[in-house]
Every structure is written in C-alpha cells, then in structure tokens.
Structure 1
Amino acid sequence: MLEGFILAVLIGLTATALADLWTLFQQRVLDIQGPNWALVGRWVGYMPQGQFFHASIAKAPALPSERVLGWATHYLTGIVFAAVLLALNGLDWVRQPVLLPALALGVATVLAPFLIMQPGMGLGIAASKTPNPPAARVRSLVAHIVFGVALYLAGLLWSAVLA
C-alpha cells in the first residue's frame, strides 16, 4: 500500500510536470495561453465556504494565495489520476509500463474539467459558455492526451530508476 502511494506521488508529480512543459511550449512557441491556475485556486478556495459554483470565477473576489492553491490543486490532481492508473492496472504496470492504459486514462480525465471544473467556474459544461467552445474543448482534450502520454513516460522513468 505504501509502495503504491509513493509510486502514485512520483508518477503523478512527474507526469504533471511533463504536461506542464507541453503547456510552456505552447505558450512560448505557439502563443497559446495555458490555464490560469490562480482561478482554479480561487474556485477551490471558495469551496470551504460552501460555494462550488460561480457565474464567473474571474469576477469573484480574489483570495489570498489563490495561485499557490491552484498549482497545488493541479499537482494533487495529477497524483490522484496516477493513483487511479495504478489502482486499475496494478503496480506491475510500473515495472513494465504500457502506453494504452495511460493514454486511455489521460483521455478519460478530460471529463473532470468538462463536467466538474468548467461548470463550477462558470464556463459551462465542456466550456459551452466560453467565447469559442470548440477550441476550448480541443485544447482540453489535447492537454489530457498529453497528460496520458506523460503518465506513460513517467512510468518508464520510474521503472528505470527503481529497477
């Protein structure tokens, strides 16, 4: 159990960092804006007060340390998704990582922003209330495909390190 927890943390942190490198590439080379983790932190920060849905999270008053909370939420989510990958595939997956389960999970994780985060932040289901919903959906899907590949790469890395 402890081994699985440690592996989920290592793989989740690594995969999230690799996915963030993709986001950085998009910002610097392709001029595609990435997520605003401060707004995610603001959304999460209002939850203890019982506010889970906002008409517009951007218009909600800012909270102290919301950027830090957003980044922490982002990385914690990556760890949770890595734990799901290991729960579904067993710890043997880390010994011999296979792309398909990681990629499938990455694609499936796009449901979290489509059905939970975006509606909660006032962006509608699957970004339906954004200025360009199809573009927002494609960006989300690509980001989660990249995360799936990053889970696989993180698995390969930690498999080699721990061998």
Structure 2
Amino acid sequence: MWLGIGATIVTDLWAVARKRLLGIPLPDYGMVGRWFGHMGRGRFQHDRIAASPAVPGERVIGWTAHYVIGIAFAAVLLAVCGIDWISHPTIAPALALGIATVAAPFLLMQPGMGAGIAASRTPRPAAARVQSLVTHSVFGLGLYASGVAASYLR
C-alpha cells in the first residue's frame, strides 16, 4: 500500500513542479470523481465530462480514486516482481510498469471522459500524450523511489 501511496505522491509533486516550471495546469481530479460518480449511475461514456452534471463529493471521489489506482498499480508491480522486490528494488521494472500504466488513461479514462482514445479529441493531442507519458514515467520513478525508501525501513 505504501509503495503506491509514495509513488502517487511523487506524481503529485511532479504536477506541482510542472505547473510552476511550465505553466501546465494541475490535474482536476474532481472531473475524475465526476466520471466515477456517473459510473455508479450506469453512465460510462461522456461527450465532455466537464459538461456532465456534477456529482456530490466528486473531488473526494476523484482524489480517492487517484490514490487507490496508484496502490493497485503498485500491487501489480509486486505481483509481477514478487514481494522481495521491496528488499532490493530495481528501476527497470518500476519504470516499465509506470510507462505501461499510460494505457489506462489512453484507453479508458480519456475516451470515457470525452477526450477520445489517447486524447485524440483534445486541442493538442500530441502534447497531451507526451504529458501523460511523462507523468506515468514519473509514477514509475516514484515506485522505484518508494521501493528504495521501503527497503531502508525494513
């Protein structure tokens, strides 16, 4: 659990740095919460999630989902590499998993929220794709950094 939380915190710190250095807006996890909230009502696809009706508690839902997904991805790393990975973390599997997780927004989240497959319906799809790839790579580096921290605490 802590591995996924740590990696997600690293990702969030990257988002803050990216905003300060590059002027790229912070992710709006309220929209993710809105998407998940509508799923509970049977709606999985939106033309534009921002135009869909608000869902009570959508910011909390979105932030919770963000961290739960990070924990789930970390569990995949440990399922593939084994729990002993925490004792001797290596960067390659963590970074590879981080990069692989970009499939989730490209194929599920972005289409479901109305942005199209791999952000194809956004004003600047190539820029959105690069940002997703970089962010998920940072998540992978966060998995590794969290693994190193955990190895010292064992």
TM (normalized to structure 2)? 0.98
Structure 2 gap segments, 5+ residues each: none
Q: Name whichever of 78-87 and 62-71 sits farther off.
A: 62-71
Instruction: Look up the match of 2:37.
Output: 45
Instruction: Look up the match of 1:155.
Output: 147
Q: Name whichever of 19-28 and 115-124 sits farther off.
A: 19-28
**What percentage of residue pairs aligned between the two structures are identical?**
56
Q: Distance in 1 between matches of 2:36 and 2:20?
A: 28
Q: Does 1:115 align with 2:118?
A: no
Q: Distance in 2 between matches of 1:67 and 1:110?
A: 22
Letter in 2 for 1:50: G
Instruction: Look up the match of 1:76.
Output: 68
Q: Distance in 2 between matches of 1:33 and 1:137?
A: 15
Q: Distance in 2 between matches of 1:43 and 1:94?
A: 33
Query: Shift in Å at residue 63 of structure 1?
Result: 1.1
Q: Does 1:99 align with 2:77?
A: no
Moved over 2 A (4+): none
**Where do residues 1-150 of structure 1 align in structure 2 (5 Å cutoff)?**
9-150=1-142
Q: Distance in 2 between matches of 1:161 and 1:107?
A: 26
RMSD value, Cα:
0.6
The CA deviation string for residues 8-38 of structure 1, in whole angstroms up to 9 with x for no partner, is x110001100111011111122211121100
Instruction: Look up the match of 1:5.
Output: none
Letter in 1 for 2:82: G
Letter in 2 for 1:57: I
Q: How many residues align?
A: 154
Q: Distance in 1 between matches of 2:2 and 2:81?
A: 16
Query: Shift in Å at residue 48 of structure 1?
Result: 1.1
Letter in 1 for 2:60: V
Structure 1 gap segments, 5+ residues each: 1-8
Letter in 2 for 1:36: D
For the residue of structure 2 that corresponds to 1:49, the secondary structure is coil
